[in-house]
Structure 1
Amino acid sequence: MPEPRLNHVQCLDTRGLHRMAYWEWGDRANPRVLVCAHGLSRQGRDFDSLATAMAGEYRVVAPDVVGRGQSDWLSDPIGYVLPTYMADMVTLLARLDAQSVHWVGTSMGGLIGLGLASFQQTPIAKLVLNDVGPTIQPDALQRIGSYLGLPQRWATLEDAADYMLSISQGFGTHSREQWLALTRPMLKADGDGFKPHYDPAIAVPFRAITPELAAASEAALWKAYDAIACRTLLLRGADSDLLTRETAQAMTQRGPRAQLHEFPAVGHAPMLSVPEQIAVVREFLLAP
């Protein structure tokens, strides 16, 4: 699998500037741009397989959202929220000089894309929402919060892979080789061992969510979803605890009336790294 190019772009926050890293595949002169945005505690290399499959047709860009991967950490953890992430992506799109883009977003990355796609004069022409919608189940948030930001250290890659597999059962079936490939970019060297790639402080605003804030956020997300006009594909793990079938069905009837595709024997969230999942995304993106 070819190695992507690593680039950085400077973005503005409340304390100054931070650098956001982004990975890039394909011809950088290609005007067809595909942005792939990852989930809450993940990073851009999650999309290695999808990006490789799409690099012949697109300039594929997968950012490490601030606080993750090769990006800077924020000095003020309150900045780890959707408005910051969306503003950073606007800066990234300006750097790419992309007049029109297609967007694939998993979980948090889908919410970033949903917000951007709802704006007037949005550059997003096609949107793939991977196992996320305006209504997010509290039980799933509680599950994610049970491990997000905890101090972790592993002696070996194998140990880290075993732990990450234990908290990632919803990702579906992967070979050991595939899982190790997904695990490596999730780690930073720590002496003779490894620690998670992300800033533990990303959990601070996540844990500050109250029922009242969650209800207001859900209302705002539905309003944004209803404003989306571009063609939209909604992917759902059939066993997802974050995106219910009821919410997914509502998303096929409202706003952009998303086309829905469910993957059996997968929860939250499909990793888009196996051929049958890549094929679904590829068919949607390349359709006239």
Structure 2
Amino acid sequence: MPFRAAGHDRTTMNCSYRDLFVTAADGKRLYARDYGPQAGDEVPVVCLPGLARTSEDFHDLACALSIDGSRPRRVLSLDYRGRGRSDWDDDWRNYDIKIELSDTLQVLAAAGIDKAFVVGTSRGGLITMALSAVRPELIAGVVLNDIGPVLEPDGLKRIRSYVGRLPTPRTMQEAADMLRQRSASQFPRYTEEQWRKLAQGTWRESEDGLRLAYDPNLMKTLEGLDLDAPLADLWPLFEALKPFSILAIRGANSDLLTAATLQAMQEQHPRLIAVTVPDQGHAPSLDGDLLQIVRDFIAGTAIRD
């Protein structure tokens, strides 16, 4: 059985969160940030990051939702195994969506969450679709951030080109500059603060200097993909979301989710709201105006349903 270990509160920018550690079925220790009230009438929110990203990506959103003056919500933001503060796996083959789905379910059970809005960025959106297929009773509504049932090969090739392959920067400023050089075409209006936050979610400071915030062996999960062959058909998985309201976010410069796929998602799902973020690629930052859009969607869906 998984167990929950509560750590001390951490406060940053007037927003605090608790450390939550849960032991997975195979003994790996999983980590999540736990924001806001642990009890209350509002349905919690669970945030699932991208392939090589961490719980830190959702800090602004978690703060906006958890300290909302009228309707504060509990927000749980996860680190998958091999990312952030969760244990790395000795076998890279376990960096698999099925195992990450199982880990997610164990974290939710340990946290006592039996229904939630789920915000999934990229890989987190795929896990969200899988979650809706196996445990639909857990879902109150869904936010998909730059992900859908069609994955574009060009986007996957770009992701494969850098995951686990980035040179180690000497300083966090150098890290931010490196990411800017690689991705400025996708995010031409990113501020210095946004590049630095992206860098802080990619590397961690240690006694030996900066190190990746994820296991470099994640690259091996992508190496075997034949991106010149037809990719798996994920439309049946997307169909599992039919009962739920969806906010689907796309970066206008995204190379993983096309405008055509987003339109097809709208046509097939009667309760899908589509938002395209200008001047951003894969995946849009959940900050700025998007915070209010997501907050309004969650509040409106909770009232309507």
1:18 aligns with: 28
TM superposition outliers: structure 1 runs of 4+ over 4 Å: 211-214
Query: In the alignment, residue 30 of structure 2 is paired with which amino acid?
Result: M
Cα 1:17–1:257 change in 2 (3 A) is same
Q: Does 1:173 align with 2:189?
A: yes
The root-mean-square deviation of aligned C-alpha atoms, in Å, is: 1.9
Q: Are the aligned partners of 1:24 and 1:60 in contact in 2 as well (CA < 8 Å)?
A: yes
Q: Are the aligned partners of 1:104 and 1:130 in contact in 2 as well (CA < 8 Å)?
A: yes
2:220 aligns with: 204
Count of residue pairs the alignment pairs up: 281
1:5 aligns with: 18
Give ranges in structure 2 of 5+ residues lacking alignment: 1-12
Look up the SS of the partner of 2:24 in the other structure: strand
> How far has the Cα of 1:136 moved from its partner?
0.6
Q: Does 1:280 align with 2:293?
A: yes
> How far has the Cα of 1:66 moved from its partner?
1.1
1:145-160 aligned at under 5 Å gives the runs 145-150=160-165, 152-160=167-175
Same amino acid, percent of matched pairs = 35
Query: In the alignment, residue 52 of structure 1 is paired with which amino acid?
Result: C
Q: Does 1:230 align with 2:240?
A: no
- The one of 123, 141, 149 aligned to 1:108: 123
Give, in whole Å, the separation in 2 of the partners of 1:78 and 1:18.
14
Q: Are the aligned partners of 1:20 and 1:64 in contact in 2 as well (CA < 8 Å)?
A: yes
1:40 aligns with: 51
Q: Are the aligned partners of 1:4 and 1:25 in contact in 2 as well (CA < 8 Å)?
A: yes
Q: Are the aligned partners of 1:131 and 1:236 in contact in 2 as well (CA < 8 Å)?
A: yes
- The one of 230, 243, 253 aligned to 2:257: 243
> How far has the Cα of 1:183 moved from its partner?
2.5
2:5 aligns with: none
TM-score (norm. length: structure 2): 0.86
Give, in whole Å, the separation in 2 of the partners of 1:105 and 1:8.
20
> How far has the Cα of 1:152 moved from its partner?
2.9
> How far has the Cα of 1:188 moved from its partner?
2.5
2:84 aligns with: 69
1:85 aligns with: 100
2:38 aligns with: 28
1:262-277 aligned at under 5 Å gives the runs 262-274=276-288, 276-277=289-290
2:4 aligns with: none
Give, in whole Å, the separation in 2 of the partners of 1:89 and 1:177.
30
